[in-house]
């Protein structure tokens, strides 16, 4: 005999099915949102995230591991966890990375620990990672919100890398050579922003965050309504 025999039981079974479907296909209403910001080097990712965090101290940016040498002023544990190639490979073997990739001849990766604790605590987290990492994260967390930043032009990109004044001419030439193939992945992202006017792009980014939070609130209301129905 079926566990649900009356019409009321059947209706409860339908609601239960809908609730389970909702629970498995949507993010938990209490978890933080995960955002990815990708762009060719110099388009303005780090500057935009920094400006966003100045206004929203409830958003965190994940600190990646890298085998690249620190730039002047970069601090270990703040801008990156700077590690050797051997250390990085050990972390790969231990399965510590959520995603990792080789970018411009260096290794970069996001540790699971860097994001899981924050998301579980309901904190929104930004990842400043390349398109290869974005692909890996999308596979693991389809609900991630992905944003691609384009520079207004190639000439402006080169000018920004030069005016940042932190990389050698050789490094800048290498990054410019990669910019076209990096940019060709823009269509894999949910949002595409052209970072011409900085303040406007910062504001657009802020709207994406707010919209994700509103979407999550709506989900929470739907969850509550379904639970209330189930418990009637």
Ligand X SMILES: Nc1ncnc2c1ncn2[C@@H]1O[C@H](COP(=O)(O)OP(=O)(O)OP(=O)(O)O)[C@@H](O)[C@H]1O
Binding-site positions for ATP read 39-46
| C-beta of residue 150 within 8 angstroms of C-beta of residue 143 | no
Place of tokens 């000439």: 155
133 binds ligand X (CB under 6 A): no
Contacts with ligand LQESDW3C by CB under 6 A: the residue count is 15
The span of 8-16, 98-106, 145-153, 221-229 binding ligand LQESDW3C (CB under 6 A) equals: 98-106
Measured distance CA(38)–CA(46) in Å, rounded: 10
Q: Which long-range contacts (CB under 8 A, 24 or more apart) does 16-20 make?
A: 16/230, 18/226, 19/223, 19/226, 19/227, 19/230
5 binds ligand X (CB under 6 A): no
Answer for which of 64, 118, 201, 216 binds ligand LQESDW3C (CB under 6 A) is: 64
Measured distance CA(143)–CA(151) in Å, rounded: 26
147 binds ligand LQESDW3C (CB under 6 A): no
Query: Which residues on neighbouring strands pair with residue 125, listed in sequence order?
Result: 34, 60
Taking the complex as a whole, the smallest distance from the CB of residue 16 to ligand LQESDW3C amounts, in Å, to: 40
CA angle 48, 190, 158 (to 5 degrees): 45
Nearer to ligand LQESDW3C, 45 or 145 (CB): 45
- Kindly tell me the number of DSSP H helices and DSSP E strands found in the chain: 8, 9
43 binds ligand X (CB under 6 A): yes
* CA 143 to the chain's CA centroid: 10
* CA 110 to the chain's CA centroid: 10
The span of 42-50, 92-100, 205-213, 217-225 binding ligand X (CB under 6 A) equals: 42-50
157 binds ligand LQESDW3C (CB under 6 A): no
27 binds ligand LQESDW3C (CB under 6 A): no
For ligand LQESDW3C, the nearest residue by Cβ is 133
Taking the complex as a whole, the smallest distance from the CB of residue 201 to ligand X amounts, in Å, to: 6
The values of phi and psi at residue 145, to 5°, are -95, 120
130 binds ligand LQESDW3C (CB under 6 A): yes
Of 36, 63, 216, 213, which is closest to residue 138 (Cα–Cα)? 36
Nearer to ligand X, 73 or 142 (CB): 73
Residues contributing to the site for ligand LQESDW3C (CB under 6 A): 41, 45, 64, 68, 99, 101, 103, 108-110, 128-130, 132-133
């Amino acid at each position: 005999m079926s566990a649900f025999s009356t019409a009321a039981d059947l209706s409860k079974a339908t609601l239960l099915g809908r609730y389970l479907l909702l629970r498995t296909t949507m993010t938990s209403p209490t978890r933080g949102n995960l955002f990815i910001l990708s762009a060719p080097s110099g388009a303005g990712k780090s500057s935009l995230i920094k400006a966003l965090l100045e206004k929203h101290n409830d958003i965190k940016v994940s600190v990646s591991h890298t085998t690249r040498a620190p730039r002047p002023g970069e601090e270990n544990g703040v801008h990156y966890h700077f590690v050797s190639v051997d250390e990085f490979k050990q972390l790969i073997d231990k399965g510590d990375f959520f995603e990792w990739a080789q970018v411009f001849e260096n290794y970069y990766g996001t540790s699971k620990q860097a994001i899981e604790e924050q998301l579980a605590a309901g904190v929104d987290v930004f990842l400043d990672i390349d398109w290869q990492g974005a692909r890996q994260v999308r596979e693991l967390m389809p609900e991630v919100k992905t944003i691609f930043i384009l520079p207004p032009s190639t000439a402006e990109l080169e000018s920004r890398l030069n005016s940042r004044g932190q990389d050698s001419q050789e490094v800048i030439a290498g990054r410019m050579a990669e910019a076209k193939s990096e940019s060709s992945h823009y269509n894999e992202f949910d949002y595409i922003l052209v970072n011409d006017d900085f303040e406007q792009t910062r504001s657009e980014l802020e709207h994406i965050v707010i919209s994700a939070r509103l979407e999550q609130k709506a989900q929470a209301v739907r969850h509550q309504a379904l639970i209330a129905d189930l418990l009637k």
